[in-house]
């Protein structure tokens, strides 16, 4: 397993387990999933207060309680800020959300808290006050955001005492606007459109770790592109690379993301222990520049 270090005292696995789909699993299944992930080198588990309407955190917490000592071996991240019909990054909501998250997980602290979506009414100073209070109370160790652009991050960082360590963003072979913009600089091609303020370059510059969500999806959670007949050229290229590097096509798709020149985590949302072990092999390989670009082109992208 490859690890990245967002902070001097924080080492996180480059493959993280996303826990959105575990809400209906039995306790022994969740515990096995956690333990198998650890055996594969995964030490980072991603939650959000809306996953399973909170039930994903509940079942995860119960699994931890059934295995004394397991909590100290792992890093738990959760997110807050999405409410029914609106976003809420107010100080009151952040503080209340964290208290509820900790109750559901049955743990005294979170390793990482992310603000899930940008709130158009957010006040950075108010958010920073919430972060400072949570840190002082020992409820959250580190902070970050999800789906925020550089200007939004900079405004919050200016107010916050602690460095924002993470930004969780949609990245996959079939979702590459952040990559396209960098490649198509100073052209009139569609890929040159800057939709997010050069996010990858900003995160690289600021030392922010990018967490890739939906690493195997196309569109906005429209489906999986792996083995999808709608994408024959890409899947042929993935299969060729899988044979070359002696891993699965899922591991190749994850390795493509990890090859980006920024501190990167791939968040894999699976409920199958064997799938976790399979995808973690991505951390053991480094795609050549030629192979990385071959996959990028096979996904339908053209170089200027």
Parallel, antiparallel, or unpaired: how do β-strands 15-18 and 223-224 relate?
unpaired
Q: What is the H or E stretch that residue 156 is in?
A: helix 150-159
Are the beta carbons of 95 and 130 closer than 8 angstroms?
yes
CA–CA dist 194, 87 (Å, integer):
24
Are the beta carbons of 282 and 258 closer than 8 angstroms?
yes
Question: Out of 51, 142, 231, 296, which one is annotated catalytic?
Answer: 51
Other CB atoms within 10 Å distance of the CB of residue 174: 22
Active site residue 51: yes
- Exposure on the CB side of residue 5, measured as CA atoms within 13 A: 3
SS3 80: strand
- Strand stretches in 156-219, DSSP E: 164-170, 209-213, 217-218
Residue 280: both structure tokens together:
């973690």
> Is 253 buried (19+), middle (13-18) or exposed (0-12) by CB count in 10 A?
buried
* Residue bearing tokens 């993280």: 16
Query: Nearest 10 degrees: CA dihedral of 102, 108, 113, 116?
Result: 0
* φ/ψ (deg, to 5) at 13: -70, 145
Parallel, antiparallel, or unpaired: how do β-strands 209-213 and 217-218 relate?
unpaired
The residues assigned a catalytic role are 51
């Amino acid at each position: 397993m490859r690890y990245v270090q967002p902070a001097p005292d924080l080492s996180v696995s480059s493959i993280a387990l996303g826990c959105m789909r575990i809400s209906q699993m039995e306790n022994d299944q969740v515990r096995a999933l956690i333990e198998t992930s650890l055996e594969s080198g995964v030490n980072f588990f991603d939650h959000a207060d809306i996953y399973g309407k909170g039930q994903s955190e509940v079942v995860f917490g119960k699994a931890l309680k059934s295995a004394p000592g397991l909590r100290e071996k792992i890093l738990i991240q959760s997110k807050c800020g999405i409410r029914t019909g609106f976003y809420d990054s107010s100080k009151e909501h952040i503080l209340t959300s964290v208290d509820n998250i900790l109750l559901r997980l049955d743990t005294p602290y979170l390793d990482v808290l992310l603000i899930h979506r940008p709130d158009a009414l957010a006040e950075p100073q108010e958010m920073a006050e919430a972060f400072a209070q949570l840190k002082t109370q020992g409820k959250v160790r580190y902070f970050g955001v999800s789906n925020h652009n550089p200007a939004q991050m900079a405004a919050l960082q200016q107010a916050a005492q602690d460095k924002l360590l993470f930004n969780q963003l949609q990245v996959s072979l079939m979702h590459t606007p952040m990559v396209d913009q960098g490649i198509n600089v100073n052209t009139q091609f569609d890929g040159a459109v800057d939709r997010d303020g050069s996010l990858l370059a900003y995160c690289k510059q600021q030392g922010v770790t990018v967490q890739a969500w939906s690493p195997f999806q196309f569109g906005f959670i429209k489906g999986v592109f792996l083995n999808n007949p709608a994408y024959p050229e890409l899947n042929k290229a993935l299969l060729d690379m899988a044979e070359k590097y002696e891993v699965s096509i899922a591991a190749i798709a994850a390795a493509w993301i990890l090859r980006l020149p920024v501190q990167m985590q791939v968040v894999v949302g699976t409920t199958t222990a064997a799938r976790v072990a399979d995808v973690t092999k991505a951390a053991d390989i480094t795609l050549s520049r030629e192979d990385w670009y071959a996959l990028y082109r096979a996904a339908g992208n053209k170089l200027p």
